[in-house]
Structure 1
Amino acid sequence: MGLTSPCVLLLLSALLISGNTQERSKAVVTLHPDLQQIFTGERLTLRCQIQGGENNTEWRYFFKRDDVDIGSSESELKIESVEEFHRGAYTCVGKDTSHEKYSDWSDEVMLTVTDRPQPVLRVSPSWLNPGDSVTLSCEVGDSSTGWSFFFYRAAPSLPDQPYSVELLSDREQTTGNSSTLQLAAPSHTAGYMCRAGRGETVYYSDYSNPQFHWSGDQISSVSLSVSTNRSQHLVSESVSLSCELKGNSTGWTLRRYTGSELYTVCSSVKGSTTGSTCIIRSLNVGHSGVFWCESGSGEYSNAVNITVHGAFKYNVSVRLSSISEGLCICLQIDGGSSQSQSTNLVLDGVQIANQNQAPAGNAPLEHRQGVEAGPSDVTYAQIELKKMKKPKRKTGKQAESEEDTIYSKVAQDLPLVALEQMT
């Protein structure tokens, strides 16, 4: 048996070592766009690349989602419109078509799919003062980035129909998830909406819910009037709200906003109406909110803030020093709570005192002609003083009280007020 040359043995050993240490090709899967969150309806591309191996190798690629084959393709797998069922763990592998060899499988990449976002719009301030500027703030409420923002005027349309939108401004935003727009001194009630978009082929979010700023100033084309001429009401009262339109309008809608929900109270085609008047025959606390009219030609009226109160729980005592013209009455109001409240008292529709004007809840009442009730936080009662005949002086236990008591007649759902005449 012949001996193998030492040089040949060394060469074979080197080849074996080289073959055993050669790294095997490995696949890598990536998502494009490379974003942490993908929303339903967005376009997505999965890209598979092979690391290692020869540059001139022809590869064919295979993809899996949650270990289930989803097909083979070139290096990219495109999803034109992502849906919730696309979520999962994606991997890919490459096949060398020349040598019928496979690369190693890629590591998993998780795809999280979220419903199409609806941004949140905030308007500040919500009630206008003359000369105020208004700030609109639009935010996509998650960790997603790369958005551009679009602000719109929400224009009223035909009665009982959704708002149409008129673009006010678009704000490019390449990072972050919010943007703001400043409006210089608007003077009338108006509504706004916003939405966001991202990507080369723009993917849009849903529109935000409409938000508003309000003004009590009337405009010539459409106005709102309230039959009671006051903003504070009690449950079970009836109120009529009239939308007065001028010009060629195609109808009207009366809206109410509660701070979280927008309602259609009635319109020229819906609800309890007489002409252009909407009638609420029995108020309840749920009717509280901001009311305004909208015309079919795209305009907003003045706004009215209406608050409906349930039964009051105040204990009211009144001491009379005399019953005569110009009398001075002090009310001590106990609301059953230690919390400080700012309350105006209104007699026959006229504001006659403010609780903050006297210490410890004792409010001197002075009837001031021509002073109208304020627009908010008003407690009102219709008080009719009736002097009762002075009873004969009693003796013994019946003489414990030296003061005569006079009772007032108080508006619905308010307790009786005891008026005690001092000697």
Structure 2
Amino acid sequence: MELSSLSVMLLLTVLLHCGQAQAARPKPTARVETQSTVYTGDTVTLICELQTELTGSQKFHWFKGPTLKNLVELKDVVGDRVSVTASNTGTEEYQCVAKDGQDYISDYSDSVKITLRVRPKAKVRVQPTERVSIGDRVTLTCDVESGDVRNYEWLKDNKPLSDAQRKKEYEISAVDESHTGVYSCRGTQSTQPLYSETSDAVTLTVESGLSRAAVGLAVGLGLSFVLCMTLVLICCYKKGKGAGSVFSSNENQQNMDQSVSGPANSLSESAADAPQTKAGDVIYSQINHSQEDDAVPGPSGALHAQNNKKKANGKGKATADADIVYSKLKYSAP
């Protein structure tokens, strides 16, 4: 009986000491150094405070997460005053605890919350285009999505561009190869957020050789030459076609005149060469017969001819076109 009472007393003593040890763990306090609005990309200072001072190897460790089950320890972030970079929009929670090696000498602090806002982002616009020729005029403009921007910071190849500082627009009247590079910008102001997110880089390429104006002039002259040559060819074609029609018409008219005047001229020449005769004399004349009508008009009606085809060899066959025909001509004295 006495042994059982002694065991109970020992057990109670151990439990009491354990409870006192657990209750003796201090609880630190975590807070943010500045309570102003925080934007993505900002650096935030976290402070962990404990009433009792830490000695020796005792240090504060930091964890990120909403609850104890989801805490993630921040590597290489140790101390009562640390800096972290806000990366995500929304709410982030942090807690701190004091440790001596692997032993916890304090409880976890209550969570400290940080509300993050999206930082306005700048954007570079290039006019007329990002690829230009030597001598062209180029304008680079820094646009910020929101905020009352007062000043602008320009970078070329990640170095400050002194010629464009504090300007919204950076204008180059005549570019040369030295202006080739990577450009970016951001806006700054006196209120939060103090600066915008840096824009995405834009590459300006300056090409050597003919400028765009010269190229455009060359193309225009080439098109004008082609158009002129086309008009000349069309005019020549129409002119040649018209001349051919007139020549063909004239040739046909000449052929018709020759076919009509030929027999009459032959007859006139034959009559002119005939010997002088008296009235009532019979004249035999040699006439080449053609397929035209037998009646041939005489000059002024004074001479009339009637062709009588002779029959060859007395066999009744008609003579050919080239056979000799004897005509009986009756001459009428004028």
Scaled by the length of structure 2, the TM-score of the pair is: 0.32
Scaled by the length of structure 1, the TM-score of the pair is: 0.26
Q: Which has the higher strand share?
A: 1
Q: Which has the higher helix share?
A: 2
